[in-house]
Amino acid sequence: MQDWDIIIVGAGAAGLTAALYSCRKQLRTLIISRDVGGQTNLTNHIENYPGVDPQPGPTLMQKFLAQAQSFGAELLQDKVVLVEKTKNTFQLTLEGGKKVNTRAVILAQGKEPTKLNIPGESTFFGNGLSTCVTCDGPLFKKKTVVVIGGGNAAVEGAIELAGLCEKVYLVHRRDIFRADEVTVKKLSMYKNLVLLLNTVPIKINGQKFVTGLNVKNAKSDKTTELAVDGVFSEIGHEADISLVQNLVKTNEQNEIIVDDRCKTSCQGIFACGDITQVPYKQTVIAAGEGAKAALEAHRYLTGAL
Ligand code: NDP
């Protein structure tokens, strides 16, 4: 007998909802994830999850977890490094080498922040370098910070920080923002917000904590150091699909391709949430997709597929 009916990789909105639905179908369900909450944890104030009052993202995610656990879901805080198909079942290898077996897999591991790939990035992560304005912004009250990026996350982040910090630089590698126009327009409302366009980050400086960011103007090639206490990298997110590299089809963004029932190209493996090609990366959408993935996995396990 296999250890589990379903193993869900990831404990964000998608994975936790999948766990709730799969437990309610009486399937032995294990969630494996390094952390609980995923991307929803990065917002302090989620006000577009229908039917619930505005609240911090982590609070909502803890409620998702408690609800899934109340129906029997188990959580293992670990990292899955490999999924292998063995006849009609699957063997998952964890970071420490431990192996677990399951009849079906739901992939819901979400995405990871994109790396800047510049010197100082690994040294200063958590010591002045952050990938989450919402989480770490309050630590930089009345300080000088720089936000890197030109999408909604960077522009909204810079605006949030401008209301909090002494001075905010927004460094974007082009002169046109990817963020929504209505959001970009708000940038001009803040006198303490300095836009540095056509500018790329090249090195993070500091001792124990960040003290500056070297940037280069892409047109003039001129390099300058911005004296800052904090660097916020808001340059998007990437999918890590190394655990199922040769098992499921993916697109050019490394997103797992699913059909309209969350089935991947490999029978017995389902996927949901931000890791898939499904558009609009939103908590409510991830939750809905998680429910769908579990219901479809149940159909698969009970022979209805
Ligand atoms: P995006 O992919 O939208 O933007 C990433 C930004 O980072 C781009 O401007 C990109 O530049 C820049 N960038 C990428 N790599 C580098 C690099 N190595 N060095 C410097 N700059 C780099 O990511 P977001 O996280 O902003 O948003 C992700 C999704 O979430 C989007 O769909 C967004 O609309 C959505 N979102 C929505 C919000 C809302 O509706 N309130 C809030 C936050 C996010 P370039 O433009 O040149 O490619």
221 Rama class: left (phi>0) / alpha (psi -120 to 50) / beta: left
Mark whether 240 is an active-site residue.
no
* Domain 121-233 bears CATH identifier 3.30.450.20: no
- Strand 99-107 to strand 111-113: parallel, antiparallel, or no bridges (unpaired)? unpaired
pLDDT at residue 114 above 90? Answer: yes
Q: What is the pLDDT of residues 202-261, one digit of tens each?
A: 999 999 999 999 999 999 999 999 999 999 999 999 999 999 988 999 999 999 999 999
pLDDT at residue 74 above 70? Answer: yes
Site of tokens 């989450």: 132
Q: Which CATH number fits domain 4-111+239-301: 3.50.50.60, 3.40.50.300, 3.40.50.2000, 3.20.20.30?
A: 3.50.50.60
Collapsing DSSP to helix, strand or coil, 103 comes out as strand
Q: What's the 237 CA to ligand 1 centre distance in angstroms?
A: 8
Which pLDDT score is estimated for 305?
64
Contact criterion met (CB below 8 Å) for 44 and 57? yes
Q: What's the 53 CA to ligand 1 centre distance in angstroms?
A: 28
Q: What's the 280 CA to ligand 1 centre distance in angstroms?
A: 13
Spans of all domains in the chain: 4-111+239-301, 121-233
Whether the pTM exceeds 0.75: the reply is: yes
Which pLDDT score is estimated for 134?
79
pLDDT at residue 149 above 90? Answer: yes
Residue 140: pLDDT band with limits 50, 70, 90: very high
Which pLDDT score is estimated for 199?
98
Q: Whose CA is nearest to atom 15 of ligand 1?
A: 235
Structure tokens at 267: 């029978």
Structure tokens at 273: 């949430």
Mark whether 23 is an active-site residue.
no
Exactly one of 5, 23, 132, 272 is catalytic; name it: 132
Which pLDDT score is estimated for 2?
66
Residue to substitute in 47, 48, 148, 152 for testing ligand 1 pocket (most ligand atoms within 8 angstroms of CB):
152
C-alpha distances (whole Å) from 67 to each of 20, 22, 29 are 7, 12, 13
Structure tokens at 297: 């996995």
Q: Whose CA is nearest to atom 31 of ligand 1?
A: 152
Residues belonging to the chain: 305
> Taking CB atoms and a 6 Å cutoff, what residues make up the pocket around ligand 1?
114, 116, 148-154, 156, 173-174, 178, 234-236, 281
Q: What's the 146 CA to ligand 1 centre distance in angstroms?
A: 15
C-alpha distances (whole Å) from 153 to each of 30, 107, 144 are 32, 25, 19
Mark whether 272 is an active-site residue.
no
Which pLDDT score is estimated for 39?
86
More confident residue, 215 or 40: 215
Residue 88: pLDDT band with limits 50, 70, 90: confident
Count of Cβ atoms closer than 10 Å to residue 70 Cβ: 10
Please compute the mean of the pLDDT values over residues 157-166 and round it to a whole number: 96
Which pLDDT score is estimated for 213?
98
Which pLDDT score is estimated for 4?
98
Residue 281: pLDDT band with limits 50, 70, 90: confident
